[in-house]
Amino acid sequence: MKDVAFGQYYPVSSFVHKLDPRLKLVFLIAFIVAIFLANNFYGLAACAAVLILTIAFSRVPIWKVLRSVRAVLFLVLFTTALNVLFYGGETVYAHWGIFTITKEGIIFSAFLVLRIMLLVMCSSMLTYTTTPVALTDGLESLLTPLKWIRFPVHALALIMSLALRMIPSLMEETERIKNAQKARGADFESGGLIKRVKAIVPILIPLLLSSFRRADELGEAMESRCYMGDKHRTKYKKLRFSWRDLLAFLLGAALVTGVVLLRVYLGATV
């Protein structure tokens, strides 16, 4: 859980931190669309260049962004192995029974790994540069039209805000419980897979109890302060677009346009 970047905020004053959270959400959606539209390495290179530019202007250490990939490292390795061993192709390098290593399989695996890494890093950049409160305010503002059909937009934003705030707390609680169990002689690192899964039970049960207790205390605190949802609520900070948001919007539009042009004129790599 130390590798989970989602929900963690890196406090620093930068160009990216000062962007409107609504624009950041739209930019993230545009970036994800560009990643999935890219069907060659030139398109992914364009996405990677924009991501590197964003990291540079955000002043977030590059090692923190790369560390977020460790949370999905097993998924990356597993999908890579499956595609390398089972992806069909014309240029065969090796063949053992049902396993076949081809040039096309290696290229497709590399393409897939780059796509997953870009997705994870761009998502982590959103939470590194945006506070949970600003993120939920931006989401609530973007979903305002849904209020016309009586969709509980404020409740959804509140749930998201509480979930983001609970992630660091759950990480700290997990580490504390794990250290306490180790002090009592628990072993979480030796043995086979079944033994390790069984060793997690003494961590999960106290963690679930602690989570329910925190949720109950939070509910009572909100009730004692007469929380009434979105009725007659005002905002302390008003969201306003600035020249920074215009530049970011133009960059996102240029990225999607460039990826589409590369897709049309250069064709597919995989």
pLDDT for the residue 270: 60
Percentage of the residues of the chain whose pLDDT score is greater than 90: 16
- Which tens digits make up the pLDDT trace of 171-214? 888 888 888 888 877 777 776 667 777 777 788 888 888 888 88
In whole angstroms, what is the distance from residue 158 CA to residue 133 CA?
Answer: 9
CA–CA distances in Å: residue 210 to residues 173, 201, 220, 255, 257: 8, 14, 15, 45, 48
In whole angstroms, what is the distance from residue 264 CA to residue 252 CA?
Answer: 19
- Which tens digits make up the pLDDT trace of 216-249? 888 888 888 877 766 666 666 777 888 888 999 9
* pTM listed for this prediction: 0.77
Q: Which of 8-12, 45-49, 260-264 has the lowest mean pLDDT?
A: 8-12
For the ranges 18-27, 139-148, 160-169, 194-203, the maximum mean pLDDT occurs at: 18-27
For the ranges 50-59, 82-91, 103-112, 151-160, the maximum mean pLDDT occurs at: 50-59
Contact residues for 6 (Cβ-Cβ < 8 A; gap 6+): 68, 123, 124, 127, 164, 167
Q: Enumerate the β-bridge partners of residue 122.
A: none
